[in-house]
Amino acid sequence: MTKRRKALTVIAACAAGLMAAGPAHASAPGTVTGDGVRVRSCPSTGTDCRILATARRGDRITIHCLDGTQGNPWFHVRHARSGTSGYIDGSYVRRSGPGTIPIC
């Protein structure tokens, strides 16, 4: 086997291992701090953002990323009770454990 072919075989094996493991996803656990909090299709209260689910105080969420400005934060989350992923206004989100929350 030539050096080039050996190198390509090693690279292919490494790439296959990375794809099988998948990328590391940053997230953090959280809870909802209000009743009737809407999980929306986009980070806004505008009419173009559909309501996907309604969360209750204490509902568990997984916080995937932060979207919005410092004065108007929105979090992209997965709502555990409904299984829905969407956006919640940051004023109704409390982080409840360790993890990394990247910018969306």
Residue range 44-90, pLDDT digits in tens: 999 999 999 999 999 999 999 999 877 889 999 999 999 999 999 99
Against a cut of 0.85, is the pTM above it? no
pLDDT at 69: 75
Taking residue 48's Cβ as centre, other Cβ atoms within 10 Å add up to 8
Residues 6+ apart with CB under 8 A from 46: none
Q: Rounded distance, CA 20 to CA 69, Å? A: 36
Name which residue leads in pLDDT, 6 or 94: 94
Amino acid in position 65: C
Name which residue leads in pLDDT, 19 or 35: 35
